[in-house]
Chain A
Amino acid sequence: MKLIKAIVRPNKVDDVKDALGRVGLPGMTVTEVRGHGKQKGHTAIYRGKEYDVSLLPKMEIEVVVPDNLVDDAVAAIITAARTGEIGDGRVFVIPVEQSYRIRTGERSEL
């Protein structure tokens, strides 16, 4: 069981969601985040005063997947979120030790 954490462009969230659905993963958590990697920010000027906007808006998608679907899920995210320009984002795969379903309290393997 793995946690896939993908940081993508805000306008790519729907594409990624659809792609994960096709892999057979219906559940996900999406968060608005800010950050930057290699992509430098831009400059805004208000009444002559310049501000560097270095932290850009991104969306973070978290999805927990069984081990056998990890490769398909990662490939789906990358295909859906890619534009080829700097600033497309990152995908991280993190091991998950345990998972519980709150409604029933049972330990689950998804």
Chain B
Amino acid sequence: MNAADNAWMLVCSALVLMMTGPGLALFYGGLVRQKNTLAIMMQSFVLMALITVLWALVGYSLCFSEGTPIIGGFGYALLRGVGVDPNADYGGTIPHMTFMVYQLMFAVITPALITGATAERMKFSGTVVFMTLWSVCVYAPLAHMVWGKGGLLNATLGGRFPTLDFAGGTVVHITSGVSALVCALYLGKRTGYPKEPMPPHSLVLSFIGACLLWVGWFGFNAGSALAANGLATSAFVATHFAAAAATLGWLAAEWTTRRRPSALGAISGAVAGLVAITPASGFVTPMAALFIGFAAGVVCFLMVTLVKGRFGYDDALDAFGVHGAGGTIGALLTGVFAAQAINPVFKDLQGRPLPVGWVDGNASQVGYQLVGIAVAWAFAAVGTIVLLKLTDLVVGVRVREDQEIEGLDLTEHGEEAYNLEM
């Protein structure tokens, strides 16, 4: 065990938790109308608690213990055998328990991202039931397939289709983004959308949230090196560069087509870039990161303006437009730009490094990335439809119209975000 690696990974675990609360909670909290502020923040916070308990019972085991290529087994259920001794497959220089708690923070934020699409109209009870089912039936298989030993898409631990996903472009962002789209379609539009204005109630909150996300993302991506090493530095730099380029990409698109560069555009662009660089962060050069970020900024801008407007779905806070689209672009471009010089992830039988991405001459990697993307899309879409239907039968998914108009803070939680005196 290496003390420096362990110290770094514990800090990264805390940074990733910070992305959900306060990061995402503030980002989303500011984007909803005042009457739904606590409801959306509460969903993120409750997931921090709910997914943690679930993780200890079966979640971690289903993701990372050995099982089938699709889902793990019960070897680590109740965290049996997950102690301070390192596990050679999952960060050989840190306690297995550190790896477990680090991965937990990813399992927490992923369903929380979906609440951006269900915002302002989904029941709290429905959210709790759906997210519990989703974490077990959609997140666990995807995490196992991509990161678990023997998983179908695992690139280094014996997968059939070696998909590169350094920190969760497929596992976190495609699954949450695509599920978000399905949720938005299943729930239907918010009452009054798109006729009634529903502007963000506090972009100041969103601004603080986005800045916390940016900082927390260093834990998310650089931490995925699982050690305080050169690869962590490389991923840290790629992450930062992509966020910067994406901010400029979104603003450039917005400034030229909508006359003004907006603060919401700047922070949305940064998040889009962070999403897109997630799968690539441990494989690409800083220059590739700039390209990936800029592309994500422009494409995600088009997704939330043109595409969303054209098809008319009410992805309230753009969980699909940013995470689904950004994650897909990032996963694809990882296959293009992954470089052996940065991370010699593939080796031949003698241990000599092999080309990794298209830039190295391994064009077939783009094909494997497409397989990973397709599996993630299909699994998320089908799983979400089934689980929503199930949730709808048990507790219902959507609040009554009069509750929606009064606001979820009062009708679901019995409190208000702001009781300001005159």
Contact = CB atoms under 8 A, between A and B. Distances in A.
A51 B305 CA distance: 14
Contacts of B254: 48
Interface string A21-59: 000000000000000000000001111110110000000
B207 to A, nearest CB: 13
A48 B197 contact: no
Contacts of A49: 194, 305, 309
Of A45, A46, A48, most B-chain CB atoms within 10 Å: A48
Interface string B187-223: 0000000100101100000000000000000000000
Nearest to B197: A51
Nearest to A52: B197
Interface residues of A, number: 8
Interface in B266-294: 268
B265 interface: yes
A47 B260 contact: no
A45 B260 contact: yes
Q: Is the interface of A mostly helix, strand, loop or mixed?
A: strand
Interface residues of B, number: 17
B365 to A, nearest CB: 34
Interface string B170-200: 0000000000000000000000001001011
B304 A48 contact: yes
B202 to A, nearest CB: 12
A24 to B, nearest CB: 28
A69 B265 CA distance: 54
A44 B199 CA distance: 9
B200 A46 contact: yes
Interface string B237-277: 00000000000000000100010101011001000000000
A110 B254 CA distance: 59
A59 to B, nearest CB: 14
B247 to A, nearest CB: 15
Interface of A: 44-49, 51-52
Interface of B: 194, 197, 199-200, 254, 258, 260, 262, 264-265, 268, 301, 304-306, 309, 318
5 contacts: A45-B262, A46-B200, A47-B264, A48-B304, A52-B197
